[in-house]
Structure 1
Amino acid sequence: MMTANILKPHWSRFLGPQSPDPKSFKYESHSRAIFSSPYGSFPPTPPDLNIHEFCFPPNNLLPPDYDLFINAVTDERVTLHQFYARVCALARVLRHDGPNPLELRKSPVDDKEDGEIIGLFSRNHIHYPMLAHACFRAELVFGGISPASTPYELWWVLRKMQITSFVCHETLLPILREAMNLGSGEADKGCSLLLVLDPRNIIILSDDPNLDTISGYRTVESFVRYGNNLPEVSRKLLGGDRMAYLFQSSGTSGLPKAMMISHKNGIHSGLQGMITGTQGARFMGVEPLQPQRVLGVVPAYHSYGMILWILRINLMQLTNVMLPKWDIELGLESIQKYKLTLLPLVPPLVRQLAQSPLTEKYDLSSVVGAASGAAYLPPDVAYQLAKKLPQGARAPIPSGYGLSEAASIASPGPPGIFGLEPAPPGTIGYLLPGIEARVVDPNTLKDVPKGQKGELWARGKVVTPGYFKDAKATAEIFTEPGWLRTGDLVMRDEKDRIHYLDRLKEMIKVKGLQVAATEVEDCLLGHPEGLVRDACVAGVDNGRGDGSLFVRAWIVLTDEGQKQGEGPVAKKLDQWVRQRLSRHKWLTGGVETVDSIPRTPSGKMLRREMRDRYQARMKAQVRSNL
């Protein structure tokens, strides 16, 4: 069968029978409403394939051993062979049909069923990927939860994901206890789902591997040791369209939702990087998927981190140097010490590395490439960091695009592959393997011509089945069956490159005209005197009650900006925007200097928070004047 190729231990398994040749095939752009990836479709896969068996095919020998994960702080290491043995041991403990010391139930295959769902609540940790793969191998659904959650946010997510058992890093146990004290949720009108976490099924992820218990709870290591003494039962693992894990997703607004990801989704999200890496190497005439050493700072609970640290294990040789949390000096020391070759980043880290004088103190010559994801990357920052790396300004940091709902949708490729034009900063590149897309008017739901703005709709095997136990929210993102409404405003150009403009919900309406906040932010960051280090733009109430808004900017000054002073800088920026942008995009709401712009851990700017703070301040001033 053709599907057997996907389990062969060679990079050729990532190329399907219809895969285009990266040198001879020339992608032809067109004007049809539906356009697809220059890389073509996915290679065939078995319909019931499990993520763990995709990464570790049962009849393949493990390759020669190497360091798979390294703790950047302690230098503790986990090799590939150790990882696999630990996964097998823990999976024996977690299986509902095994000895089952935790008395776990069978997990649901979709959100129409109830069953065991285990929460993973930890910062980046060298054993987090082991937990995820043990769950895949045990056919146990897990939910990845942000370690930055407040007790209230955790309580909400525990209910939305219907978490029944829980792995908690030892430092986060106080947060969990506070969340549990908030009650079952019966009185909460915002969510009908109740807290179902069994307090007896809390497991602690400790940094001390010798401990069996902490605060009365068993540790992960104690269960790994227990599993080492259990016999292995040979069985065919199930996957395919069955639910594999849940993500936190904010959707378009409000508190987090629970996003379902199937084994098929996860496998194809992992496949995309393997296909693009293989085809890129073939295009450049080098052996595909050569060993790399990777900076591990993107959070593992996030869709971007899932691809990096969990879905690609054993697909190629990657040594991942994990940082528990971001620290610029530790990051730079790690690059120099471990001679890291790849830097997967998010925009705030790209900006910090680009602007920090610390980068001059470390040897970054090992870096082959850096990339950004998870949020919009301003073009000026893409060039600034590239200048400091061996690739130079001619190869600015590329920015990929994806969502929790579809982990990877578009990314720039090597210029010239499939005859493609370069995708410069400001674009998110071309569609990734197996993706089809449309650009649609969000009001009329009609496809718009190339060159016009519209909402990006995407279709492919990476697209989620929907929100867990939330049919209303699922219906909102699938107006047409199979087509995911991303909620992002884009423009498809004449070459079929995609230009990201803004979140639809964050568009600023000024006298009936739409203003993309990112366009104004890029203008501010691009002032020729380099006055602005960071910028946030949002719409604020114009006070007239007509629904129209003023455009307001919050800025973080550079050293040069601070030298010139807040007042003069605000005037210069206002004049600069008036010279560069249309009248309805002018800063009629003013310019305010702040110390920092709030962002999520993945780098998404919290414009709503800045706007709400400002408007609360204005209301307070009105009251004080009465």
Structure 2
Amino acid sequence: MPHHLLQRHWSRFIGPNPPSPHEKYQPHANPIFASPFGPFPPSPDNLNIHELCFPPRSPLPEDYPLFINAITQQSVSLHQFYTRTCALARVLRHDGPNPLSLGPSPTDDKHDGEILGLFSRNQIHYPMVVHACWRAGVVFGGISPASTPHELWWVLRKMQVTSIMVHESLLGVLGKAIGLGTGAGDDMPLKLVLDVTKVVVLSEDGSMERVGGHRTVESLVREGMRLPERAWAMRGGDDLAYLFQSSGTSGLPKAMMITHRNGYHSGIQTLTTAVQGARFMGVEPFATPGITLGVIPMYHSYGMILWHLRVNLVRNTTILLPKWDLEQALQAIQKFKITALPLVPPLIRQLAQSPLTEKYDLSSVIGAVSGAAYLPPDVAYQLAQKLPQGKDMPIPSGYGLSEAASIASPATPGIFGLETAMPGSIGYLLPGMEGRVVDPDTLQDVKKGEKGELWARGAVVTPGYFKDAKATSDIFTEPGWLRTGDLVMRDEFDRIHYLDRLKEMIKVKGLQVAATEVEDTLLEHPENLVRDACVAGVDNGRGDGSLFVRAWVVLTDNGRSFRKEDVASKLDAWVKNRLSKHKWLTGGIEMVDSIPRTPSGKMLRREMRDQYHALLKREGQAKL
């Protein structure tokens, strides 16, 4: 008899003895509070994510389209996906024919080993590569396809990538990154270790055997189809599964570790809430197959949950848009009768405010959900009015971090007797999570109703940053408790209200921008124009929850020898050449005499931001 979590029934997501959704949750004043949904269902000690999605010795359900490219109409069915995944995994195994000469992957960051970088935009075969890695025991690292050569070079080093799958459109970026060398002359201890003979290309032309002199993914799948399947004990549990490109709670990009246990708990977490919500409403969970719009990046923690961690857990067809286009999205909703819209705040605002929505039939949409950044309440109501759910059911917004993909979310109204979590609140802790609200200076728990930093504990929380003990210690002041860097308030009902950002991170269209990374880039200008720099996120004036990146700089003597307009132009061009588009200085550059700091030297970014917002307000009032 298979473990309960591996049985093909929705009850596996709530465990053998789940709390009744009709039982009333009792709020309390204890410093540590837990999810009203209770703990995670029990799981096997060494479970691999791929095994959860495709339980051994369990037949596949009836076939159906798994991924469809909305533009090209190319599709992959569930059965095709599994067959192709198994074939590719046979090729990736280090103990097989091993045409790529891959070595064993590390189980943690105490050891070296094979790390396969995944450097690609959204593509219908990307999830197959992910599952083939899990099945073959290959640790991979997801990398943003928007990376510049310099950013890619940095991330390849932080992840210690030894081999890489690259989309054919990004081969030029990879070549330039490799051309930057190993980094032998700088202070970063991790050097470039990528083996240029271990480059695999993800091509849009499935017939290609090689692109740019490198094997294609499809050629490896075809080779794997000819190989026999051999017994293989999959690693799982607390072993390393993959790495995320993350800026962390502060600082430059890091490589964040996710274990198999982290991954599959993130995958089932909101399936648990969905099952309990259906039980509360007296309907069969997952009775209707889902059809989901696929626009969230596959390398991102949000996309990882949607497109990789839930394959075959519930029946769902993803209609994939390789890149966001408002009208193409609306056309896809109407044509494919899409039921679910996982989005980020800027996209929600576009849908909410565009008159194009009146041209298309959106009646199939059962619900939309927001993630990756704060969703302003007015936007949540505006889009809801255009969907069948109506204005009385505003778009919910989940809360999580790359370091813990999902922490809290609004719950089904009335479930467990919970008070409604209206927009502006991030809701209640999700299944399996515990929380505390802590004074960030004294590190003492605060009372309910007082503001403090949210600390979170649960199976979804990362063990830390890959080969970066200092960065790991910064987010775990106490073992197991992740410091989120976000200022919140826990109310009398144990709802969590987001207040502000303690960490110096800037959210631009759902993507993280580390202020320190942009500051360092300004200070590194080859003409030595900047002596000191401060970067912060400022209001973009659109009300979509996204920010503009603004810089305040103190010029060197050399910088002052140029006109201010010329310095601004030089710095702007330098940032655009070095960093991804979402990190550009869309909020402008201002020359100042000094940057305010605390006596200990900590930069007061918030003070600069607040002064700028006050100036905008005064100027706006003066124009009235």
Structure 1-normalised TM-score?
A: 0.83
Determine which of 193, 208, 211 is the counterpart of 1:214: 211
1:86 aligns to what? 84
- Give the distance between the partners of 1:165 and 1:38, measured in 2 at CA: 43
2:392 aligns to what? 394
- Give the distance between the partners of 1:617 and 1:222, measured in 2 at CA: 57
Determine which of 318, 341, 344 is the counterpart of 2:342: 344
Q: Which amino acid aligns with 1:118?
A: L
- Give the distance between the partners of 2:464 and 2:182, measured in 1 at CA: 25
CA shift for structure 1 position 618: 8.6
> Does 2:215 align with 1:231?
no
Per-residue deviation, residues 238-258 of structure 1 (Å, max 9, x unmatched): 100000000011113332100
- Give the distance between the partners of 1:386 and 1:397, measured in 2 at CA: 6
Per-residue deviation, residues 110-134 of structure 1 (Å, max 9, x unmatched): 0000000000011111111100000
- Give the distance between the partners of 2:580 and 2:32, measured in 1 at CA: 30
2:497 aligns to what? 499
1:123 aligns to what? 121
Question: Is this contact kept in 1: 2:345–2:545, CA < 8 A?
Answer: no
C-alpha change, 1:328 and 1:164, in structure 2 (3 Å) is same
CA shift for structure 1 position 616: 4.1
Q: CA RMSD in A?
A: 2.4
> Does 2:6 align with 1:7?
yes
1:149 aligns to what? 147
CA shift for structure 1 position 615: 2.5
1:302 aligns to what? 300
Question: Is this contact kept in 2: 1:93–1:223, CA < 8 A?
Answer: yes
Gaps of 5+ in 2: 507-535, 555-575, 595-624
Per-residue deviation, residues 414-463 of structure 1 (Å, max 9, x unmatched): 10011111110001110000000000010000011111111100000000
Question: Is this contact kept in 1: 2:345–2:546, CA < 8 A?
Answer: no
Question: Is this contact kept in 1: 2:550–2:589, CA < 8 A?
Answer: no
> Does 2:235 align with 1:260?
no
- Give the distance between the partners of 2:104 and 2:438, measured in 1 at CA: 41
1:615 aligns to what? 590
> Does 2:36 align with 1:20?
no
Question: Is this contact kept in 2: 1:401–1:408, CA < 8 A?
Answer: yes
Per-residue deviation, residues 512-533 of structure 1 (Å, max 9, x unmatched): xxxxx99x969x77xxxxxx67
1:463 aligns to what? 461
- Give the distance between the partners of 1:539 and 1:222, measured in 2 at CA: 46
- Give the distance between the partners of 1:403 and 1:10, measured in 2 at CA: 29
> Does 2:14 align with 1:39?
no
- Give the distance between the partners of 2:136 and 2:409, measured in 1 at CA: 33
C-alpha change, 1:331 and 1:264, in structure 2 (3 Å) is same
Question: Is this contact kept in 2: 1:299–1:602, CA < 8 A?
Answer: no
- Give the distance between the partners of 1:133 and 1:97, measured in 2 at CA: 18
Question: Is this contact kept in 2: 1:37–1:431, CA < 8 A?
Answer: yes
C-alpha change, 1:151 and 1:41, in structure 2 (3 Å) is same
> Following superposition, which runs of at least 4 residues in structure 1 exceed 2 angstroms of deviation?
252-255, 505-508, 532-543, 608-611, 613-619
- Give the distance between the partners of 1:541 and 1:112, measured in 2 at CA: 40
Question: Is this contact kept in 1: 2:147–2:580, CA < 8 A?
Answer: no
2:75 aligns to what? 77
> Does 2:248 align with 1:251?
yes
Question: Is this contact kept in 2: 1:450–1:491, CA < 8 A?
Answer: yes
2:283 aligns to what? 286
> Does 2:379 align with 1:404?
no
C-alpha change, 1:90 and 1:540, in structure 2 (3 Å) is closer
C-alpha change, 1:542 and 1:145, in structure 2 (3 Å) is closer
Q: Which amino acid aligns with 2:12?
A: R
CA shift for structure 1 position 70: 0.4
1:584 aligns to what? none
Q: Which amino acid aligns with 1:203?
A: V
Question: Is this contact kept in 1: 2:376–2:545, CA < 8 A?
Answer: no
Determine which of 417, 420, 428 is the counterpart of 1:419: 417
Per-residue deviation, residues 179-201 of structure 1 (Å, max 9, x unmatched): 00000011122x21010000000
| Counterpart secondary structure, 2:485 | strand
Determine which of 183, 186, 189 is the counterpart of 1:188: 186
Question: Is this contact kept in 2: 1:295–1:340, CA < 8 A?
Answer: yes
CA shift for structure 1 position 506: 4.6
Question: Is this contact kept in 2: 1:506–1:538, CA < 8 A?
Answer: no
| Counterpart secondary structure, 2:279 | helix
Per-residue deviation, residues 160-214 of structure 1 (Å, max 9, x unmatched): 000000000000111000000000011122x210100000000000011111111
Q: Which amino acid aligns with 2:138?
A: L
Question: Is this contact kept in 2: 1:428–1:498, CA < 8 A?
Answer: yes
C-alpha change, 1:454 and 1:366, in structure 2 (3 Å) is same
CA shift for structure 1 position 505: 2.8
C-alpha change, 1:521 and 1:419, in structure 2 (3 Å) is farther
Gaps of 5+ in 1: 509-516, 526-531, 544-597, 620-626
Question: Is this contact kept in 2: 1:18–1:41, CA < 8 A?
Answer: no
- Give the distance between the partners of 2:123 and 2:411, measured in 1 at CA: 31
CA shift for structure 1 position 469: 0.2
C-alpha change, 1:63 and 1:448, in structure 2 (3 Å) is same
Question: Is this contact kept in 1: 2:549–2:585, CA < 8 A?
Answer: no
Per-residue deviation, residues 4-23 of structure 1 (Å, max 9, x unmatched): 10110111111223421112
Q: How does 1:440-459 map to 2 (within 5 A)?
A: 440-459=438-457
CA shift for structure 1 position 143: 0.1
| Counterpart secondary structure, 1:90 | helix
Per-residue deviation, residues 337-386 of structure 1 (Å, max 9, x unmatched): 10000000011101111111111111100000000000111111111111
| Counterpart secondary structure, 1:199 | coil
Structure 2-normalised TM-score?
A: 0.83
2:527 aligns to what? none
Q: Which amino acid aligns with 2:14?
A: L
| Counterpart secondary structure, 2:235 | coil
1:566 aligns to what? none
CA shift for structure 1 position 236: 2.3
1:559 aligns to what? none
Q: Which amino acid aligns with 1:177?
A: G
| Counterpart secondary structure, 2:590 | helix
- Give the distance between the partners of 1:31 and 1:431, measured in 2 at CA: 15
- Give the distance between the partners of 2:591 and 2:80, measured in 1 at CA: 54
- Give the distance between the partners of 1:279 and 1:175, measured in 2 at CA: 46
CA shift for structure 1 position 234: 1.9
- Give the distance between the partners of 2:200 and 2:129, measured in 1 at CA: 11
Q: Which amino acid aligns with 2:46?
A: D
Q: How many residues align?
A: 541
Q: Which amino acid aligns with 1:245?
A: Y
Q: Which amino acid aligns with 1:301?
A: Y
C-alpha change, 1:298 and 1:113, in structure 2 (3 Å) is same
Determine which of 267, 271, 278 is the counterpart of 1:270: 267
